[in-house]
Amino acid sequence: MASASMPRFRLVELTGGDPFAEFARDVAAGLTAEPKHLSCCYFYDREGSRLFEAICELPEYYLTRAETEILERHAREIASLFQGDVTVIELGSGNAVKTRLVLDALLPGRRVRYVPIDICRPVLEESAADLLQRFPPLEIVAVAAEYHEGLRHLRSESDRPRLILWLGSNIGNFTRAEAATFLGRIRDTMTSADRMLVGVDLRKDRAVLEAAYDDAAGVTAAFNRNLLARINYELNGNFDLSAFQHRAIYNEDLGRIEMYLASTRVQSVTIGRIGLTVRFAAGETIHTENSYKYSQAELNAVATAAGLKDQCFWQDAAGRFSLHLLARRTDSAET
Ligand code: AVJ
């Protein structure tokens, strides 16, 4: 497909350690904790990634459409901020559909290297194949890794100005303090020529938010329950998926959607691979995800704490979502 001397595609796998052991350890810890919880990073096996793509098309899940609208309107302006060749790094790239808008705007007249970082390797391979076909001049270095491992790779991609994409409200899975810490670590890898583009879901009416995370077709419910299906087949569990109800609640004080799976009855579940039996009371919940929403002030506070400055931002016409262009802050407050 590519010339022998300069392969257009490389895949780097940075999944440190045994992924099954890590999953087993996290599930054991989360289901023996009080209250019970599971990490949302385990949503994205192949089926979960497919369900998430379906969520992005739901009428209630406005986030993807709002962000696409912003990118359609402003990708050219964003591209014009860069001179010469660039490297586009994307954290949690998924199917990279929105990324096409950025690449399409950047490519004329320059070389672009795209470095998607995602935990789901099959999704990385599929989206890379699609992009290589759409954009013949593109060079791709795909990194199969979690954010933290992916960060290590970030440091090695430093020969050109970089645009780091963290789209889709992926920042929402972090607490605000964690987001500041994580952005700060990215900032430490940035030069003054680098920029970061962060997609943030804004605080809004409870009804709109709760519908976005509890759609009428039940796709988000299936996405949430898929976590239990994954425990069943990867860790030899016997969860009865129909005995857990999906819940999405907006916690307005904390500005976050909380997702739960609630046991519909008293039950015991056995997870063979970790030799664990878990008891559930009727109505007892497993907390599976937080999705933080931001005000402009909250986003600014997080960026500032990370040593970044909010150079400019754009919103969709309905004011539901915003995209922030962040640069390294180089004032005297810097340590
Ligand atoms: C991929 C984390 C941005 O929080 O909106 C969608 C995941 N969960 N519906 C989000 C999700 C339920 C999504 N992020």
Residue whose CA lies nearest to ligand 1 atom number 4: 291
CA of 182 to the centre of ligand 1 (A): 18
The atom of ligand 1 lying closest to the CA of 168 is 3
In this structure, the number of other CB atoms found within 10 A of the CB of residue 205 comes to: 10
Say if CB 97 and CB 117 are below 8 A apart. Answer: no
Identify the residue whose tokens are 């001049």: 137
Per-residue model confidence (pLDDT) at position 149: 84
What is the mean pLDDT of the segment spanning 113-131?
A: 92
CA nearest to 202, candidates 289, 288, 299, 290: 299
Residue 86's contacts (CB-CB under 8 Å, 6 or more residues apart) are 106, 110, 112, 113, 160, 161, 162, 163
Residue 124 CA to ligand 1 center (angstroms) comes to: 18
- Residue 214 CB–ligand 1 contact under 6 Å: no
As a 3-state breakdown, the chain gives helix, strand, coil percent values, each rounded to 5, of 40, 25, 35
Ligand 1 touching residue 114 (CB < 6 A): no
Q: Burial level of 32, CB count in 10 A (0-12/13-18/19+)? A: exposed
Q: What does the pLDDT read at residue 333?
A: 52
Q: Which structure tokens are listed for 119?
A: 């935990």
Ligand 1 centroid distance, CA of 52 (Å): 8
Protein residue with its CA nearest to atom 9 in ligand 1? 213
| 318/86 Cα distance (integer angstroms) | 32
- The reported pLDDT for the residue numbered 3 is 43
Q: Angle formed by the axes of helices 121-134 and 99-106, to 10°? A: 40
Query: Whose CA is closest to 141, among 130, 157, 126?
Result: 157
H/E element holding 70? Answer: helix 63-79
247: phi then psi, degrees, rounded to nearest 5: -135, 140
pTM of the shown model: 0.94
Q: Which ligand 1 atom sits nearest the alpha carbon of residue 52?
A: 6
Torsion 149-150-152-153 (CA) sign: positive
Distance between CA 291 and CA 171 in Å, rounded? 8
Ligand 1 pocket member 291 (CB < 6 A): yes
* Each residue's pLDDT tens digit, 156-215: 887 899 999 999 999 999 999 999 999 999 999 999 999 999 999 999 999 999 999 999
- Is the pLDDT at 335 greater than 80? The verdict is no
Of 40, 44, 52, 257, the residue with max ligand 1 atoms within 8 A of its CB, to mutate for a pocket test, comes to 52
pLDDT tens-digit series, residues 288-299: 999 999 999 999
Is the pLDDT reported for residue 305 higher than 90? yes
Ligand 1 pocket member 127 (CB < 6 A):
no
Whole-number Å distance, alpha carbon 23 to ligand 1 midpoint, is 20
pLDDT band at 91 (very low <50, low <70, confident <90, very high): very high
Angle at 143 between CA 137 and CA 146, to 5 degrees: 145
Span 35-83, pLDDT tens digits: 999 999 999 999 999 999 999 999 999 999 999 999 999 999 999 999 9
Contact 105, 138 (CB under 8 A): no
Atom of ligand 1 minimally distant from the CA of 201: 5
Our mutation pick for probing the ligand 1 site, out of 169, 220, 227, 257, counting the most ligand atoms within 8 A of Cβ, is 169
Strand order from edge to edge, sheet including 36-37: 36-37, 285-292, 256-263, 244-251
Query: Residue 217 and residue 215: Cα distance in Å, rounded?
Result: 6
Cα(295) to centroid of ligand 1, in Å? 18
Residue type, 150: G
Percent of the chain at pLDDT > 70 equals 96
- DSSP state at residue 294: B
The amino acid that residue 10 corresponds to is R
For residue 283, give the 3-state DSSP assignment.
coil
Q: Report pLDDT digits (tens) over 261-295.
A: 999 999 999 999 999 999 999 999 999 999 999 99
pLDDT of residue 156: 81
Rounded mean pLDDT, 218-226: 98
Instruction: With cut-offs at 50, 70 and 90, classify the pLDDT of residue 332.
Output: low
Give the residue, 152 or 309, on which the prediction is more confident.
309
Residue count of the chain? 335
> Which protein residue has the closest C-alpha to ligand 1 atom 12?
213
Q: Beta strand 321-328 with 308-315: parallel, antiparallel or unpaired?
A: antiparallel
80 CB-contact burial (10 Å; exposed 0-12 / middle 13-18 / buried 19+): exposed
